[in-house]
Amino acid sequence: MTLTAFCIALLIAGAGDAVNGGPPPVSVHMWAVQATQEDRAQPHFDREVVAIKPAVEELPYDTYKKVAVAWRSAQVNEPARLPIDGTYTLIATPLPDQGDHRIRLEVAVEMKNQRDARGGAVKALQTTMALVPEKMVKLRGFRLDTGNELLIVLSVER
């Protein structure tokens, strides 16, 4: 292949985004765990949640049990629902990015109101984030019916 042909191939590949139209969908990864302190010699992670280990090293817990692990792909402005348990649901909506290589995401954690006979839900958390792709972010402070903390770890990529 000559250098000219190589350059033409690169230009065609680069122009692909413009031809295809919108940005690629955003992949949202969620790990929801019950975090507890059980005085273990070594921290314990359920097999499905080992990936979050680097993100939780500093927390005062030594046991991380899987509550839910989910992955969804969503287009911009398209909400993706990721159920956690009978009480909580995470809703992630990719937003138009601002050209800085971060992925903007609106995240809501809905909590079912057990006292509401109609099964209504409130947004226990609503936040808008500009996330570095593949870098984890933690959502903390939610409570499980066991009284333990529900820790949610998110990661996004295109």
Contact call for residue 135 and another protein (CB under 8 A): yes
Contacts of 86 (CB under 8 A, 6+ apart): 112
Residue 58 near another protein by CB under 8 A:
yes
Residue 41 or residue 86: which is nearer to another protein going by CB?
Answer: 86
Q: Which of 10, 53, 79, 96 binds another protein (CB under 8 A)?
A: 10
Q: Give the number of C-alpha atoms closer than 13 A to the C-alpha of residue 67, restricted to the C-beta side.
A: 29
Question: Exactly one of 11, 40, 79, 96 binds another protein (CB under 8 A); which one?
Answer: 11
Distance CA 93, CA 20 (A): 22
Nearer to another protein, 20 or 41 (CB): 20
Judged by CB under 8 A, does residue 44 bind another protein?
no
For residues 128 and 103, what is the distance between their CA atoms, to the nearest angstrom?
A: 11
9 DSSP assignment: H
| Residue 74 found at the interface with another protein (CB under 8 A) | no
Q: Per rule CB under 8 A, is residue 66 in the interface with another protein?
A: no
Q: Which two tokens stand for residue 27?
A: 């992949």
